[in-house]
Structure 1
Amino acid sequence: MRKRRLGNSDLYVTELGLGCMSIGTEENAARRIIEAALEEGINYFDTADLYDFGENEKIVGQALKDVREQVIIATKVGNRWHSDHSSWTWDPSKAYIKEEVKKSLKRLETDYIDLYQLHGGTIEDPIDDTIEAFEELKAEGFIRYYGISSIRPNVIKKYVEKSNIVSVMMQYSILDRRPEEEVLPLFHEHGISVVTRGPLAKGLLSDKLLEKVSEKGYLDYNYDELRAILPLLKGKVAASRSFTEVALQYNLANPAVASVVAGASSPEQIRSNANAVRSQPLSSEEVAVIKEIAKASIYKEHR
C-alpha cells in the first residue's frame, strides 16, 4: 500500500489508516480486524484514551506489540472521564496531558507514541500551556510528534501559528467539503498533513448509499437533496467502480491529505477499504465533476 509523509515528520503513513474506535471490546474479534489491517499493509492505527475507557488502547497495544517497530500508533488526549464513567470533561491542561500520557503508554505497552493528538480544543483553552506539554513530551522521548484532532478553524489556525504540529485530524468527505476552502490550503502551505475521518459520511458514500439516507439528512443536505445527489454522483463518477473507491479517492486527491482513517467492524470491511484505496486515483476531470455536484460549504459553527 502506498505511503505518504506525515507533515514535515519522518513518519510515512499508509494512505489508509485504521480508526480503531469501531473494533469493539471483544478481544479476539478486535484482533482479527487489526491482523487483517496488517495483512493489507496498513501501518497507521488511530486510537484514543477516551475510547472504551482506555480499553481500546489496551487491545491495540496488545495486538501490535510484536510489530511495534513496523507500525505508527496515534492516540489522543484531553477528555477526562468522570470516576463513574458517566461522562467526561474537557481538560487540555499541561498537568493532565503529562499525567495521562504515561497511562496511555502503559495501556499501549510501548515506550513511545508516534503521534500524540489533542482530542478537540476551543479558542478559550490555555493553548500555550498545551503546546508546552507536547513539546516537553517530545523532548523527553515519550512522543515522537504531535498534532490535533479538530474541525474548529480558529483553533487550528492558532496551532498552525504557534506550534510544531505535523498533522490535523478532521472530518472530510464529498458530502463534507468544509475543510477545502478555509484550512486545507493553509495546511499545504505550511507542510502540515491532514488525516481525514468520516470519508464515507456514515455509509452514505458507500454502495449502500440510498439505504443509509435518513429523514434528518446530513449536514447541509436535507433528505430530498440526498435522494437526488447520491444517484447523480454514482452515475457521473461511479458507474464502473464502487462508490467507496470514489469516496476514499476523493480525499486522497487533495495534496494536503496524508491518510484516510476509516473505521471497520470486520476484516471484510478492512479488505474492501484497502481495495478502494489501491484503486485508480480520480482524474482531475472526475474531481471537478464531484465539486460541481456536491456543495462547497463552510464552517458556520464550531469556530
Structure 2
Amino acid sequence: MKRNRLGQSELYVSEIGLGCMSLGTDKEKGIALVHQALEGGINFLDTADLYHEGLNEEIVGEAVDGRRSEVIIATKVGNRWEPGKEGWTWDPSKAYIKEAVKDSLRRLQTDYIDLYQLHGGTLEDPIEETIEAFEELKQEGLIRYYGISSIRPNVIREYAQRSNIVSVMSQYSIIDRRPEEQVLPLLEEKGISLIARGPVAKGILTRTGAAKLAKGYLEYSEEELSELYATLLEQGGSGRDLAHTAIRFALASPTVAAVIPGASSMEQLLHNIAASAAEELSAAELAQIRKISKGSGYAQHR
C-alpha cells in the first residue's frame, strides 16, 4: 500500500489507515481486525483516550504487542474522564496533558507515541501552554510528533502559525468539502498534512448507503442527497465501487496524507483496504464530482 509523508515529519503513513473507534469493546474481535489491517498493508492506527474510556487504546496496545516497530500509533488527549463523574470535561492544560500521556502509554503498552493529537480545541484555551506541553513531551521522548484533531478553522489557524504540528485531523468527504475553503490551502502553505476522517460519511457514500439518506447530511436535504447519491452510482458504473470513489476523492488532495475509515467488521476492513488498489480519479472525474456536490465552507469558527 502506498505510504505518504505526514507533514514535515519522518513518519510515512499508509494512505488508508484504520480509525480504531469503530473496533467496539470485544477485545478478541478488535485485535483480529487490527491484525488483518496490518496484514493488508495498513501501518497507521488512530485511537484516543476518549474511546470507551481507554479500552480502545488497550485493544490497540494488545494487538500490536511484539509488532510495535511496524506501526504508527496516533492517539488523542484533552477530554478528561474522572471516575464517579458523568461524561467528559475539556482540559487542554499542560498539567493534564503531561499526566494523561502516561496513562495512554500504559494502555498502549509502549514507551512512545508516534503522533499525539489535541482532541479538539477552542480559542479560549491556554494555547501557548498546550503547545509547551507537547513540545516538552517531544523533548522527553514520550511522543515523536504532535497534531490537532479539529474542524474549527480559527483554531487550526492558531496552531498552524504558532506550533510545530505536523498534521490536522478533520472531517473531509465528497459531501463535506468544507476544508477546501480555508483549511486545505493553509495546510498546504505550511507543509502540514490533513488526516481525513469520515471519507465515506458514516456509510452514506457506500453501495448500501441508500438506507441512510433520509436524515440528510450537513446542508444536504434528503432529496439533494438522494440525487447526488444516484449520480455518483451512475458515474461509477460497474467499474468502481462508490466507497472506493469516496476514499480516492479525499486522497486526491496532495495535502491529504491518509484517510481513516472505520471498520467494525472484517468485510468492511477488507473493502477499505481494497480502495488502495482502486484506480485514482482522473482530473475530469474530480471536476465532475465537485460540480455535482456542494463546496460550502464553515459557517462557524471562521
- Could you tell me the TM-score, scaled by structure 1's length? 0.98
Q: Is the 8 A contact 2:240 2:278 kept in 1?
A: no
Deviation, 1:239, is: 4.6
Deviation, 1:232, is: 1.1
User: Once the two structures are superposed, what CA deviation does each residue of 1:95-125 show, in whole Å capped at 9, x if it has no partner?
Assistant: 0000000110011000100000000000110
| Paired position in structure 1 for 2:55 | 55
Check if 1:79 corresponds to 2:89.
Answer: no
Amino acid across the alignment from 1:186: L
Where do 5+ consecutive residues of structure 1 fail to align? none
Q: Is the 8 A contact 2:151 2:171 kept in 1?
A: yes
Q: Is the 8 A contact 1:150 1:168 kept in 2?
A: yes
Over 4 Å off, 4+ runs: none
Deviation, 1:238, is: 4.7
Deviation, 1:82, is: 3.1
* In 2: Cα distance, 1:53 partner to 1:124 partner: 26
Q: Match of 2:260, SS? A: strand
Q: Match of 1:121, SS? A: coil
Deviation, 1:268, is: 1.5
- Taking a change above 3 Å as real, the CA distance of residues 85 and 35 of structure 1, as seen in their structure-2 partners, is farther
Check if 1:99 corresponds to 2:99.
Answer: yes
Amino acid across the alignment from 2:284: E
* In 2: Cα distance, 1:238 partner to 1:271 partner: 21
Deviation, 1:277, is: 2.3
Amino acid across the alignment from 2:8: N
* In 1: Cα distance, 2:277 partner to 2:86 partner: 41
* In 2: Cα distance, 1:263 partner to 1:85 partner: 29
Listed as ranges, the matches of 1:1-303 within 5 Å are 1-84=1-84, 86-214=86-214, 216-303=215-302
The count of aligned residue pairs is: 302
* In 2: Cα distance, 1:199 partner to 1:276 partner: 12
Amino acid across the alignment from 1:296: G
- Taking a change above 3 Å as real, the CA distance of residues 292 and 237 of structure 1, as seen in their structure-2 partners, is farther
- Taking a change above 3 Å as real, the CA distance of residues 225 and 98 of structure 1, as seen in their structure-2 partners, is same
User: Once the two structures are superposed, what CA deviation does each residue of 1:39-92 show, in whole Å capped at 9, x if it has no partner?
Assistant: 101000000000111011011011102110110000000000132252001000
* In 1: Cα distance, 2:237 partner to 2:59 partner: 36
* In 1: Cα distance, 2:142 partner to 2:90 partner: 22
* In 1: Cα distance, 2:85 partner to 2:289 partner: 43
Amino acid across the alignment from 1:109: Q
Q: Match of 1:245, SS? A: helix
Q: Is the 8 A contact 1:236 1:289 kept in 2?
A: no
Deviation, 1:185, is: 1.3
- Taking a change above 3 Å as real, the CA distance of residues 9 and 134 of structure 1, as seen in their structure-2 partners, is same
Percent of residue pairs identical: 59
Deviation, 1:209, is: 2.5
* In 2: Cα distance, 1:274 partner to 1:258 partner: 15
Deviation, 1:181, is: 1.4
Deviation, 1:297, is: 0.7
Q: Match of 2:240, SS? A: coil
* In 1: Cα distance, 2:249 partner to 2:124 partner: 34
Amino acid across the alignment from 2:146: Y
Q: Match of 1:98, SS? A: helix
Amino acid across the alignment from 1:173: S
Select between 182-191 and 5-14 the one with higher mean Cα deviation.
182-191
Where do 5+ consecutive residues of structure 2 fail to align? none
* In 1: Cα distance, 2:299 partner to 2:276 partner: 31
